[in-house]
Structures are given as C-alpha cells and as structure tokens.
Chain A
C-alpha cells in the first residue's frame, strides 16, 4: 500500500520535473517533494506504521526515489541553465565590424627602423654601437684618414667649415680614428650618425644625412673577411636570395677598396626602373684600412689589419621603402610617419 504510494509520488515528481521550464518551478518541486513538509518526507514520517521487518526495505525504496528525484532535478537545472546562458549569449551579440578602439601608438622614423635593423645584424656579429662628434676636428675628418691638406675632397664645395680646424664631419669615418686611438684591440664597432655635405636640398640630396660606419681591427683580418661580413649583412637586410657584387673603387683611407652592389630588391636582378635596368643597386663603400691610417692612429700595420665600411642610411631607407623624395624624411608629416 505504502510502496504503491511511493511509486506514485516518484512518478508524479519526475513527470512534473520533466515538464517544468523554469528554475523557480524546479525549486518548488524540490520543496513539494523533498522539503521538510514534502510528500516524500511525510511518507518517511509514516514509517512507524510499517512492520519492523519491512522497514529497511521501505527505507531503501524511499531513498532510491529521493535520489532519482534529486538526480532528475539536477539534470533539469543544468539543462535550464544552459538554455538560459544561450538566451543570454544571443542577447549579447555585437557588431564585430564596428571600428577598433586603438591606443594610437606612435611610429618610429623609417630611418631609425632601418638603422635598428642594421644595428641588430651587427650586434649579432659582436659589434658595439658607438658614436662620435658631429662637429669635428678637420684632423679626424681628413688628415687622420689619409686626406691631406689641399686634397680635392676637402674642398669647401663639399664641406661645411666652422673655421680652418673645425668642421661638420662629412662622413662617419672619423669615429674609426677616435676608436683606434683608444687602442683597445680588437675593435668591432658600428658608428651611426649624422654627417653633413654642402648639397642643396632636393629630392635626392640633403645637406644633413646619416651614415653607418663599421670598423673591425684585429690580427689576421682579410679582404675575404670583409666580403663575408658584408655578404651576411646584405642577406640579413635584404633577404637570403640577395647576391652581392664587389667592385674595385678608391677611398683614401682604405686599400684595397670596393663599392658593393646588391641585387635589386625590387626586381631581384632582372632590371627595373629602381635599379635603372642594371639589376644591381649600390649600397656601400668599403675596404681594408689603409696601413697609413693604422699607423697614424698608433696601430702597427705589420701586426694588425682591419676593414671598414660606410653605408648611407637614407639611401637604404629610400630604396627599401620606395620613398621617392628625400625631403619627406625631414618634414615629419604624421601621415608619412604612420606608414612605417
């Protein structure tokens, strides 16, 4: 009799749970059946009327029924919550194509991006990045670099003079001499900086521009080392397919000297407008440090040798980013700067 009632309660409860569609409804069902005054509880309270030998079995049946109801309640709750979450998510749909809220981070100057790229490559090869003065003694800019007085390179047409002993350096090479004079050997330095030449401002000239000087002095440094180093550099900077060509040239402070061309990074060497059809682009001058320059700096050329190179920073920046007017680099229009 009582067990029939139990069965009935259980079925009724499960049915109610199944058909309920809200969390508070489920709670109500819990209270109605499992609460202190709930049906299952009152059934347990009537245990005393059951025969003693049947009590354990009945108790077990009640517990099973309770468990079944609880499980079902839990399951339904989960389902309802899932449904509710889904409803919520549907309400929260946003238009992902609305504009981004940017932090408006500033931009590095393209020259500086190129320079840092070059620095990264040479720092990796053990070079220290150093600087020297821009307003420099004529001695460091010329004499000590084997450019004696009255040499055409010292002509006022190219050089800004302060007086006859002090000038605006025309190249970063004086840093070579300043480093060598410190006599801390071996030397592996990269010296970027501003240089000055008396050129009127136009699309391809600026009276103030940047060079990057490199210098290595050690025992047994060879021209082959210079070639290897600059080949590595070119491949790092312009890509692994880049080919490098060394052409004999003349600089007063290196011997042998060379100019270095790389395969045009726009056409890959086939020839285009950028490389004027040649497939090659000249990027730097270099050579083995002239023994006289070593001597003047107090280094014994019989024991030590070295190489030096000089890269025009603007030239690489203009070519690399295909900037057609050098003046843009010094105007600082943010619409220009933001492109890098």
Chain B
C-alpha cells in the first residue's frame, strides 16, 4: 500500500510533519512505514519559465537558442528539443539547480544531475528546460507530456513560480506494510484515521453528499443475489449520459503518486475510490446487460467466460459470477467480462460496489490463476458497510467531474446486516495485562480518537464496523498499548514461582555428542530434511528396502525436495562430496539431524522422528579411527559396558567386508563402515569414505551422567603377553571374548599390540598378540594366581583352534 502524504493531509489538514517523523511515529503506533520516496528528490531551482523568442543556433542544425522569462529576468537557454514554440510555458532549471534524471528515462542517479551555466557549440546557455523524465516522472503518470521533448505547462502557469509545486511533486509517497488483520488500513482513509490518532490531530473524512437526478434506479436495474453465502451485500447505481474524458489533474496526480496510471475519468474515479475507501468497484456498460437485471450466482462446472483482458477462463461451481438475465457479465470480485466492459462510446453505466466472501475470492482467483487489484482487496474480507459509502462517493465524484448524470437512488441488497460488536471495557484488566497504570480517562481518550464509542451505562465499547479486527478484551488492550506507546510501557521481569532452567535430557546427550565429535576433529554440518527419492538408487538400496517407505510432501518445491529423509547418509555424502569437489583435504563432518520414519503408510499419525548422530570422513583415518570416536562418545554418555561390533555384509551402500552393526547390551544402536566404492563413485568422491550412524533414541535409555569413584589401584599389576596364530576367519573379537570370560576377577585390561599376516605365517592365518593386565584391589598378586588365569585363557583359545606361540 502506497499513499502520498498530500492525500493523507487532505483528511488530516492540521498534519505538519517531516517524512522521517511520520515514518517513525506511524511505525510505532502500528502502521509500519516500510520506506518513503520524496517526489521532489534532487529537484532544485526549477521555476516556471516562458519562452519569449526562439532563434536557430548559428553552428548547429539541431539546436535552438531560446530567450526565457523566468520571472525576475530573462535568460538564454540552448536546447535540442524540437517541441517548444514561442510563448510556451515550461519548467526551467536555473544555473546551480538540479534535476532528477536524464531525458532518456534511464534509472535515476542517486545524487541527481547538477545543471550549470555553460556554452553549447559556442553559445552561452544559462539553464535547462525540462522533460518529464528529467523531473523524475514519466509519461505514464503525466499523460499530457510529449513522447520526447520538453514538458509544456498549462498557459495559466505563473512565470517565476515553483514549477515543482505546480506539478504536484512536493510530496512524499509512503509505502506501508499493513498487517492482514487491518483490512481498513488498505485505504487512504484508514491510514489517515490512524495518522490523525497518532499525531493527535482532527480526522476530517470526505463529506458524501446525496447525489442523483429525479429518476429511480429501480427503473434501470434490479439485483438478485442467489448465492447469499458468497455475497453479503451488493450495491448498484446507474450513471447515464457519460462523457469519457481525462480526469482532472489533481486526481491524476494522486493516482500517479500511488503508482496507478491515469486512464480516463470513469476508470480513474473507480481507482480513486478503491484507494480512498479500500472498496473495489466495477463498471458495466448497462446497454450490454440484458433484462435490466443483475443476478449473483455460482457458475456451472465446465462453463467458460471471456474476461475483459480477452482471455477465456474455465469456471467451476465455486466461482461466483455476476450475470444478467441471459449470461454472465463478470467474475465476481475478480474481473469483469469482455461482453460488458466500458468502451469509449459508453452511454449508460452500471456501478457495482459489493462485498464478497474473502476466502471464496481468494481460492477462485487462485484456481483461475487470475489475481487482480480487486481480488487482492476482496480476499481480505471487506466490511460490507463500506460498500454504500464507496459507491455514493464515486457518484459524487462523477457529478463533481461532470462525467455523467447519476440516476437517483441505489439498489442495495444487504440480506444479513452486520451486527454491531460490543466489547466490555475493564480498565483494570487492561492494566493488568499490560503491566501499566494507565488511567481510565486516558484510555477513553484513545478510544475516541479511534472512533470506538464508549457506552457508559453498559460499560461497553461499541466497535465500528470497519474495525473487523477487534473482537475481545485483549484487542482493546492492544489499542490502548499502541497509542499509550509500546515505548512507554515499563520493563519488568516475570515474578512468581521459580523454575529450573535446563536442557532436556535428550538435548544434553546431543550436546555431549557435539563436544566429542568436535574433540575428534569433526565439524558440524546441517543438511535438509527432505530430499529426492532418487537418493535411494544412489545408495544402491533395493526396491523393497524399508528405507524407501517415506513421508511424501504433497506440494514439494520439486522432486529434489519431495520426501522426508529416512537416512542421513545422502546429506552426509553430498556434503563430503562438495568438500572433495573443492579440493578440501582430510574432511571430517558430523550432523545431528532427524530422520522421519512413517508408522504406517499412508500416514495415520505423525511419523517417528529419530535423531541420528551421523559421522563421515575421508582422507585421514580409517574404520578403526571411526570406532574410536564412537567409543569416546558412548563412554562419555555412560555406556560403560563393552561395545560389540557385529560383522555385517548386507548394507548395500557400505563395503561388504568393512561394515558392522554397533551393539550394546544386545541392541543395535547404530552402524559404521566404509562406503561402497560404487556409492563413492555415485557421489564423485575420489577417496575412501568412512561413515557411522548412531540412532540416538536407542542409545538414550542406556545413557547416564552418574559416576561413582572406584578408587585408584594401590597394588602393582602383572602384565602377561600372549602371541598366537589363528585362522583369518576368527575375528579378534572372539579372542577378546575369551580373555574377558576366562580372565576372572583379577583381569584388569587387555590390549591388542600386534596383528600380522603375510610371509612367515601360513596362508589363511594371522598372527595376533595381546598384552593382558591383571591386578587385585586388595593385595599384591601372587604369580600362581596369574598363571592360573592365563592357563584358563590359553586353554580356551586352544579349544578354538588357535595355536599359541611362545
């Protein structure tokens, strides 16, 4: 919404503010000014001049020398413009002045263009005559400007006076962000009312005079609203003997300042009233309306209709149409028909100001793919009481402008009159909600400015119909707060019962995950929650993989963002690939993000959102460094028992010989592995990639941050090394199981210190060496005890076909 300050001032005559003051104050009272444009920006020392004499330039065919009267003197101006003649009155920028732009209509330079005295082909020129483009505007807005050349002013312009003033350019256009609840502020009058209240000035709306001749409108037209639910009110008036001509300059200027191109008196009046009252109107050529009748009803399915832009529209039964006795003549609230549009030789016109159901208009406009200024206003849900004022205002302007003869009376079909709203006024409650001590009188003062009437007998506030946003006590409190000033409300902190500030337990574990990952050199990434179903092929998942059962977005931004992810791997691999592609070496990334697992498809309830702790790396570190990171994390979160790794082969996106499930207390809590070379290739990563994914909801029940001190060892430890040769097929995990099982109470720890396969070792075998540490808490161990434990271990190992080497 744009309005020029001059138009606001027309209804708040006492308003005297700078653009900055206006912006700040209006924004703080709730009408946010997004920005403003001074129409006279860079227009300096520009006066009305009159050309007294024109001579040819002695040395240039295309230049002429003009003697121009600028009021206090006559100056000489050399110009290349060909449209001026002697006695013309023109805008003249004097020596040292400024214009907004060049005559070519290119974007305006920020600092304007300075005009100085100078010589053109040897002849002195003391200023410049201006085109409309040089004055920062365009022919669109100043219809009387020539296609190229100097803007010629009206003959009654007074020589020597301010030409910028004359052109109505000493004005500021404000752009507002109107919130959706304030439908009334999508109009000049609505904003003017707010401005008056904000600056404590009187609001003087236009006085609508009774208009019309002695005839009766009913003799010209009748209106029947069939679908009452979609059209709460329909007002119609008739104008005859129409004279189409340009609208007066003042009206053209106001529309132009709002960014609306002046067309002719009839179109301009409709646009003017739409801006002023926020009520869209439509004009039909009454001679094309058959049966002297307007019927408002839903279209039939499959019906087509040609709108006034020439397009054929496909209708359906939810689109409301304006029809005559035989045919449709317009799509209600959206666009009129080609068959009934106003042409230059219109004689009699039907004016419509109606109120349509906002939602229906919005949905219809969307289905039709036809959003117009009118539908944009209607879809907000207009006040039906505004329609009558607007149509009468338009008829008043028709008469004032001499654009036609208004027929007496109005056809007004208003079947369900809007009920008056009343809200109880409780000053104490308002103060209690705001934390203020505003006096009742002060509140009543604010209400008065906003045209909210107070009825003392019932202690109620009567809400004017244009304030559709006011519905309950809190709304009233906001009105008080806005004009008391949000700035003036004190600042306090909540009192009352103390609460404990903390992270939820889930988030606390995630914080630990972040810390550990970062200690281990992984940086945190974030990837989108939705992706393309094609990623499953990229990850080599079979067609029947349960991961392909996804939550599907019905209106995605495109296939690439169409399903909610069921694995975080694609995000991780895509991020690693981006790094690889940019030649970043040795990259380690992690992400904490959800996957979305449907409980049933189609969804009967919201899916299971599972937080995944995903780690990925290339270039430095292997499978076992990844295991290290996982174990650091699990240890830190209190998973103190042994982590098992179950050899796996079936995850298609991982190397079949380098993948494992991570098991804790017989539960799979995640997996890790090297990415399958094919997948690596699919993502264009030229190095081996190791990934790990931990399923946080599985881990959470095992976690604890409780620790008990168990003492530090006082007695010496005994270390024994064993070395063995075993078939490759036996994993060292089996050896460790034996050590743990047979080591007994005195087993403290064990560590693999050598593993070797190759020459000197039989084909299919590997040599493995462990260092085993024994210790007792309460005494120094005797050799005998250690030997007994060792024998148990060795015997068990031998039983598995492992050969011991001494």
A contacts, CB < 8 Å to B:
103-109, 111-112, 119, 122-131, 133-137, 150, 152-153, 156, 160-163, 166, 168, 186, 188, 194, 196, 198, 200, 207-208, 216, 218-225, 227-229, 231-232, 245-250, 255-258, 288, 290-292, 305, 329-335, 337-338
Q: Residue-by-residue, is B556-576 near A (CB-CB < 8 Å gives 1, otherwise 0)?
A: 110001001000000000010
Q: Across the interface, do B523 and A229 meet the contact criterion of CB distance under 8 Å?
A: no
In the complex, the chain B residue whose C-beta lies closest to that of A224 is B435
Assuming the A-B contacts A207-B561, A222-B435, are A257 and B478 also in contact, with contact meaning beta carbons closer than 8 angstroms in the complex? Answer: yes
Q: How far is the CA of A253 from the CA of B298 in the complex (A)?
A: 34
Q: How far is the CA of A134 from the CA of B517 in the complex (A)?
A: 25
Q: Across the interface, do B507 and A131 meet the contact criterion of CB distance under 8 Å?
A: yes
Partner of A228, one of B29, B492, B578: B492
A162 to chain B, nearest CB (A): 6
In the complex, the chain A residue whose C-beta lies closest to that of B360 is A150
Q: Across the interface, do B517 and A221 meet the contact criterion of CB distance under 8 Å?
A: no
Q: What is the total number of residues of chain B having a CB less than 8 Å from a CB of chain A?
A: 87
Contact residues in A for B755 (Cβ distance below 8 Å): none
A246 to chain B, nearest CB (A): 4
Q: How far is the CA of A334 from the CA of B575 in the complex (A)?
A: 9
Q: Which of A105, A196, A330, A334 has the most CB of B within 10 A?
A: A334
Assuming the A-B contacts A112-B514, A162-B553, are A291 and B501 also in contact, with contact meaning beta carbons closer than 8 angstroms in the complex? Answer: no
Which residues in window 134-189 of B have CB below 8 A to A? 179-182
Q: Across the interface, do A166 and B590 meet the contact criterion of CB distance under 8 Å?
A: no
A337 to chain B, nearest CB (A): 4
In the complex, the chain A residue whose C-beta lies closest to that of B558 is A200
Q: How far is the CA of A245 from the CA of B29 in the complex (A)?
A: 12
Q: Across the interface, do B556 and A160 meet the contact criterion of CB distance under 8 Å?
A: yes
Q: Across the interface, do A255 and B477 meet the contact criterion of CB distance under 8 Å?
A: yes
Assuming the A-B contacts A126-B498, A137-B606, are A256 and B478 also in contact, with contact meaning beta carbons closer than 8 angstroms in the complex? Answer: yes
In the complex, the chain A residue whose C-beta lies closest to that of B557 is A207
Q: Classify the interface of chain A: helix, strand, loop or mixed.
A: mixed
Assuming the A-B contacts A106-B520, A134-B529, A225-B492, are A126 and B433 also in contact, with contact meaning beta carbons closer than 8 angstroms in the complex? Answer: no
Contact residues in A for B527 (Cβ distance below 8 Å): 330, 332
Contact residues in B for A135 (Cβ distance below 8 Å): 551, 564, 596, 606-607, 609
Which residues in window 85-123 of B have CB below 8 A to A? none
What are 18 A-to-B residue pairs whose CB atoms are below 8 Å?
A107-B518, A125-B493, A127-B501, A133-B609, A135-B607, A160-B556, A188-B494, A207-B528, A207-B561, A221-B496, A224-B435, A225-B492, A225-B494, A245-B28, A256-B482, A330-B528, A333-B584, A334-B587
Partner of B553, one of A124, A153, A168, A245: A168
Q: Across the interface, do B490 and A248 meet the contact criterion of CB distance under 8 Å?
A: no
Q: How far is the CA of A225 from the CA of B528 in the complex (A)?
A: 36
Q: Across the interface, do B606 and A166 meet the contact criterion of CB distance under 8 Å?
A: yes
Extra pairs beyond A186-B499, A222-B433, A228-B492 (15, CB < 8 Å) = A106-B590, A128-B501, A129-B507, A135-B551, A162-B554, A207-B557, A207-B561, A222-B434, A223-B433, A255-B472, A256-B481, A330-B528, A332-B575, A332-B578, A338-B523
Assuming the A-B contacts A103-B521, A228-B491, are A333 and B501 also in contact, with contact meaning beta carbons closer than 8 angstroms in the complex? Answer: no
In the complex, the chain B residue whose C-beta lies closest to that of A337 is B523
A131 to chain B, nearest CB (A): 7
Which residues in window 496-511 of B have CB below 8 A to A? 496-504, 506-507
Q: Which of A106, A119, A163, A330 has the most CB of B within 10 A?
A: A106
Among all A-B residue pairs, the 10 with the closest Cβ atoms = A224-B435, A222-B435, A248-B30, A332-B525, A256-B478, A250-B179, A123-B501, A332-B575, A106-B518, A228-B491
Q: Across the interface, do B493 and A247 meet the contact criterion of CB distance under 8 Å?
A: no
Assuming the A-B contacts A128-B502, A162-B551, A305-B433, are A248 and B29 also in contact, with contact meaning beta carbons closer than 8 angstroms in the complex? Answer: yes
Q: How far is the CA of A231 from the CA of B490 in the complex (A)?
A: 11
Q: How far is the CA of A255 from the CA of B29 in the complex (A)?
A: 15
Contact residues in B for A188 (Cβ distance below 8 Å): 494, 499, 501
Partner of B499, one of A128, A153, A224, A331: A128
Contact residues in A for B434 (Cβ distance below 8 Å): 222-224, 256
Q: Across the interface, do B575 and A331 meet the contact criterion of CB distance under 8 Å?
A: yes
In the complex, the chain B residue whose C-beta lies closest to that of A188 is B499
Q: Is B245 an interface residue, CB under 8 A from the partner?
A: no
Q: How far is the CA of A218 from the CA of B499 in the complex (A)?
A: 11
Assuming the A-B contacts A106-B588, A125-B501, A329-B526, are A220 and B495 also in contact, with contact meaning beta carbons closer than 8 angstroms in the complex? Answer: yes
Q: How far is the CA of A104 from the CA of B288 in the complex (A)?
A: 81
Q: How far is the CA of A135 from the CA of B566 in the complex (A)?
A: 13
In the complex, the chain A residue whose C-beta lies closest to that of B28 is A247
Q: Across the interface, do A231 and B491 meet the contact criterion of CB distance under 8 Å?
A: yes
In the complex, the chain B residue whose C-beta lies closest to that of A338 is B523
Assuming the A-B contacts A106-B518, A156-B555, A222-B492, are A334 and B529 also in contact, with contact meaning beta carbons closer than 8 angstroms in the complex? Answer: no
B446 to chain A, nearest CB (A): 13
Q: How far is the CA of A224 from the CA of B436 in the complex (A)?
A: 8
Q: Across the interface, do A128 and B504 meet the contact criterion of CB distance under 8 Å?
A: yes
Contact residues in A for B494 (Cβ distance below 8 Å): 188, 216, 218, 221, 225, 228-229
Q: How far is the CA of A137 from the CA of B606 in the complex (A)?
A: 7
Q: Across the interface, do A223 and B481 meet the contact criterion of CB distance under 8 Å?
A: yes
Q: Is B369 an interface residue, CB under 8 A from the partner?
A: no
Q: How far is the CA of A188 from the CA of B530 in the complex (A)?
A: 31
Q: How far is the CA of A128 from the CA of B482 in the complex (A)?
A: 32
B178 to chain A, nearest CB (A): 9
Q: Across the interface, do A124 and B525 meet the contact criterion of CB distance under 8 Å?
A: no
Contact residues in A for B579 (Cβ distance below 8 Å): 332-334
In the complex, the chain A residue whose C-beta lies closest to that of B434 is A223
Q: Across the interface, do A227 and B490 meet the contact criterion of CB distance under 8 Å?
A: yes
Q: Is B276 an interface residue, CB under 8 A from the partner?
A: no
Q: How far is the CA of A292 from the CA of B589 in the complex (A)?
A: 45
Q: How far is the CA of A223 from the CA of B551 in the complex (A)?
A: 41
Assuming the A-B contacts A124-B501, A222-B432, A332-B589, are A106 and B523 also in contact, with contact meaning beta carbons closer than 8 angstroms in the complex? Answer: yes
Q: How far is the CA of A231 from the CA of B474 in the complex (A)?
A: 23
